[in-house]
Amino acid sequence: MLRWLLARLRPESAGDLLEESAQHSRWWLLRQILSAFAPSANPFAFLWNDVRYGVRALALNPGFTATAVAALSLGIGVNTGIFSLLNGLALRSIPVPGSDRVVSVYQIFHGKMDRNVDGNESMFSVSEYEQYRDQNHVMTGVAAYAPMALVTLGGEIPRQVVAQFTSCNYFDILEERPAGPGFRPADCAAAGSGPVAIISDDLWKSQFGADPGIVGKSVLLNRHPFTIAGIAPPGFHGAEAYFASFWIPITMQHTIKPKFDAYGNANTSWLVLIGRLRDGVSIEQARADLAVISARIDQTVPGRKTSLSVDTATFASMPEMRRIVTGAGAVVLAAVGMVLLIACANVANLLLARAAGRQREIAIRLSVGATRWRLIRQLLTESLLLALIGGALGTALAYASFRSILRVLPAQLPAEFPDFALNVAPDLRVLLFSLSITVATGIAFGLLPALAASRADVKLSSGANGFLRQALVGLQIAVCTVLLISAGLLLRGLWAAQNIDPGFEMKNVASVSFDISSQGYDAARSAVFQNRLSERIAAIPGVDATARVDNAPLDDSHHGEPISLPGNPAEYRAEINYISPEFFPMLNIALVRGRNFTQAETDTDANVAIVNEATAQRLWPGEDPIGKIVIEDGKTPYQIVGVARSAQVSHLGRANETYVYFPSGPKRAVRTHWLVHGASAVSLTAIRAAVREIDPALAATVAPLDHNLEWWRTPSRLVALLAGSLGALALALASIGVYGVVSFAVSRCVREIGIRMALGADREAVRHMILARAMRPVGIGAACGILLCAAVSKILSSLLFGVSPRDPLTFSVIPLFLVGVALLAGFIPARRATSIDPASALRHD
């Protein structure tokens, strides 16, 4: 930049500056260069004059300035706030030393490949990790970790905590030193070789009373003794946004999770890779080097084709996660962008009105020789000043309110949600974002009025500018309609979610779940455990029924499995559950055809199945489903014996999912959970006590079944909260806009009103005329808004729980409400206008 400028100076000036540049700062050099370009001694004199004049002009009209600044600071503040959230979530590099050199690596599979997934498909297996770690030439080291595992921490009251499996160089790569010896390379030598754990500072303080001698002591994780090898630095949460309590070598995966040997399987996605770039290596070089390794691995496996995603590590580097964040971020930014658009239209309208008042000043300046460009520059300086004040205030507002937002947010999340930390403090990126939207805003709302005002020949109250003002009102109303309808739909969706009837009984049902497979239970021991538990729970006073299930209704384990029909290669995605016969009567789900499972069928894991009505219609339309066969897992045939009423068992708001029930017998004992029904609310403590009596080291989650609804309501509650506040903001801004424009229009036609009234026009008729004029752009804007919203509201459908994204009630009530508010905003100035004395109205300038 400086070099480019220097090349444009006269050679003697450029030579002088180069000769001296070594002894001075770049700022000095820049000032000198500008001085050589400037026509006068002070290069900023012109700008400075404009700014001073602008400040005075704004100070002269404090009402206008305050309104404009308030509108802009709300618009810019809300945008800056949302952007810093997104920044903290997805753009900021992870909070470790030198994080700009830490890259995350994911692989994307192209085409179909048989792959085990424990986490997300884009993760790596151990053998893949080792190849990237050992064969690359671009990293000082590569670490691997499995982001989230729930393990049971033994103790007086065993409880589930969040752990991460990590390679033994994890802390070294992140350049964080745990207090204590940490992991040794030998811990990661072979499967089962490292029964050691690093604990979080938080856990050390809360669970172990900040015991200074904790390192070297032993804890039980899923009943296996682990030696504590260190305490992570305070606040450390590694490469993920949420806090883990334990870090355990990846070699211990199968010990901790005997259900599934991810460590020993070369075709399982379960590890995220992060590496630290060597000095001087760019991210492009790293991509190229790692691509060679991925190509090499592809060649060893027929049909495998992958590409890599290598980026500076953030909390949302994972491709699956990034897709979600980008999608949701775009929608939210669009919504807050609309609020800013309304604010801009508002201020543009205020400026147009003000320009009309400044007509005399502008005419004088033009006639004494100011060029049009000079005037536009002056007017634009004023709008930029407004934008900068609004922007600074809005950004400050955003940060001031962040503390409270971040306090409100966790309260909105279900209790099971792990603690997480987002750094939403302003950084250069946020400030640049804020500055650029501020400048863009200043030009956006300032340019049109400046162009219009600086035309000497046009009467400002009529013609083109009148149209411009009306168009701006229409725009505000249209955008406001979109925001309000969205907010209305989301609130209706939230209402629906709160009051939804999932089609089965949740009252007085408790769900009991535990992870016995990772506690060293085999099938035989599990069956014994389940039988004893069944007896214990049945003995609790008030309990009148118990049922076994693999997946409790509406819990988060409904992921869909492929099923097929005999003689048909097509696969259907179905929700699958294994249940005992008590399931249907307990949840009051009627069997519309056929029969329930018998006790004998569940005891023997018989190959029979019950489907819901939606499945029967989908798979065998117009036929009797009883006696038909479905194939699960590609090989086992099951005969349909019954059809159950469709209910929202897997997804709230969706009753017509394909759903197949199989009997839950001894084979399922390892995975089974319990539903417990009582005449009134069942004592959860009594159930916990029953579990503890049989196995004191087992952490059981016992909760009322309707708690599962919270998982579904949370996103809609958060989005409804956001949309509701944005809608309210938009409504406030738009009504100020309508009020301003109608008042201005009225003030412009006081004489006309006077004449009409002097000639005998009825007060009512005049008022009606004024309002009708004012409402035309409102009506057109609302209509456009309805059409626009109808076109895009589909993206909200997953949050609406049965409310149609084109819900006629919302689409009619909200625009009516908006028009009503606009009428009210227009009525006040219209009434004022008609209450003036015609004589004084006629004398009005």
Partner 1 sequence: MRDHLGEFEQIVLLAVLRLGDDAYGVPIRREIESKTSRALTVGALYRTLDRLEDKGYVSSWFSDPTPERGGRSKRYFRLKASGVRALADTRDALEAMWRGVDLKKVKHA
| 44 touching partner 1, by CB under 8 A | no
Q: Which two tokens stand for residue 207?
A: 């669970």
Give residue for tokens 């050199």. 101
359-365, long-range: CB within 8 Å, 24+ apart, which pairs? Answer: 359/453, 359/460, 362/453, 362/454, 362/456, 363/456
| 5 touching partner 1, by CB under 8 A | no
| 134 touching partner 1, by CB under 8 A | no
In angstroms, the CA 816 to CA 231 distance is 61
Query: Distances from the Cα of 561 to the Cαs of 518, 549, 558, 659, in angstroms?
Result: 23, 16, 9, 10
Q: Which two tokens stand for residue 608?
A: 């029979």
- Minimum distance of partner 1 from residue 22's CB (angstroms): 9
Q: Which is nearer to partner 1, 31 or 688 (CB)?
A: 31
Give the interface segment with partner 1, choosing from 35-43, 121-129, 306-314, 528-536 (CB under 8 A). Answer: 35-43
Contacts with partner 1 in 341-380 (CB under 8 A)? none
Contact residue for partner 1 among 30, 38, 186, 190 (CB under 8 A): 38
How many residues sit close enough to partner 1 to count as binding (CB under 8 A)? 21
Half-sphere exposure of 64 (CA within 13 A, CB side): 22
Q: Which two tokens stand for residue 806?
A: 């084109």
Contact residue for partner 1 among 8, 24, 30, 34 (CB under 8 A): 34
Q: Which is nearer to partner 1, 34 or 186 (CB)?
A: 34
| 561 touching partner 1, by CB under 8 A | no
| 32 touching partner 1, by CB under 8 A | yes
- How many CB atoms are located within 10 Å of the residue 593 CB? 16
In angstroms, the CA 377 to CA 373 distance is 6
Give the interface segment with partner 1, choosing from 32-40, 118-126, 432-440, 458-466 (CB under 8 A). Answer: 32-40
Contact residue for partner 1 among 17, 386, 444, 738 (CB under 8 A): 17
| 155 touching partner 1, by CB under 8 A | no
- Minimum distance of partner 1 from residue 728's CB (angstroms): 53
Q: Which is nearer to partner 1, 11 or 302 (CB)?
A: 11
Element spanning 83, H or E: helix 62-86
| 46 touching partner 1, by CB under 8 A | no
| 289 touching partner 1, by CB under 8 A | no
Q: Which is nearer to partner 1, 40 or 680 (CB)?
A: 40
In angstroms, the CA 77 to CA 86 distance is 14
- Minimum distance of partner 1 from residue 369's CB (angstroms): 25
| 20 touching partner 1, by CB under 8 A | yes
- Minimum distance of partner 1 from residue 49's CB (angstroms): 19
Contact residue for partner 1 among 4, 19, 156, 457 (CB under 8 A): 19
Contact residue for partner 1 among 41, 60, 411, 759 (CB under 8 A): 41
In angstroms, the CA 315 to CA 325 distance is 10
| 26 touching partner 1, by CB under 8 A | no
For residue 332, give the nearest of 839, 796, 807 by alpha carbon: 796
The answer to whether 642 touches 662, Cβ cutoff 8 Å, is no
Q: Which two tokens stand for residue 128?
A: 């893949």
- Minimum distance of partner 1 from residue 4's CB (angstroms): 13
Query: Distances from the Cα of 328 to the Cαs of 108, 139, 191, 333, 718, in angstroms?
Result: 21, 33, 40, 8, 12
| 37 touching partner 1, by CB under 8 A | yes
Q: Which two tokens stand for residue 338?
A: 């609309």
- Minimum distance of partner 1 from residue 1's CB (angstroms): 16
Q: Which is nearer to partner 1, 9 or 191 (CB)?
A: 9
Contact residue for partner 1 among 2, 8, 18, 762 (CB under 8 A): 18
| 1 touching partner 1, by CB under 8 A | no
| 689 touching partner 1, by CB under 8 A | no
**DSSP reduced 3-state for 844:** coil
Give residue for tokens 């509650």. 717
Bridge partners for 612 per DSSP? 644
- Minimum distance of partner 1 from residue 19's CB (angstroms): 5
Four-CA torsion 555, 414, 313, 301, nearest 10 degrees: -10
Q: Which is nearer to partner 1, 43 or 141 (CB)?
A: 43
Give residue for tokens 């949309």. 723
| 35 touching partner 1, by CB under 8 A | yes
Give the interface segment with partner 1, choosing from 15-23, 99-107, 413-421, 485-493 (CB under 8 A). Answer: 15-23
The radius of gyration computed from the CA coordinates of the chain, to the nearest angstrom, equals: 34
Distance separating the N- and C-terminal Cα atoms of the chain: 54
Bridge partners for 631 per DSSP? 564, 637
Give the interface segment with partner 1, choosing from 7-15, 50-58, 158-166, 296-304 (CB under 8 A). Answer: 7-15
- Minimum distance of partner 1 from residue 25's CB (angstroms): 14
- Minimum distance of partner 1 from residue 8's CB (angstroms): 13
In angstroms, the CA 746 to CA 835 distance is 12
Contacts with partner 1 in 495-524 (CB under 8 A)? none
Q: Which two tokens stand for residue 44?
A: 């900023």
Give the interface segment with partner 1, choosing from 6-14, 69-77, 395-403, 517-525 (CB under 8 A). Answer: 6-14
The answer to whether 168 touches 126, Cβ cutoff 8 Å, is no
**Chain residues that interact with partner 1, rule: CB under 8 A:** 6, 10-20, 31-32, 34-38, 41, 43
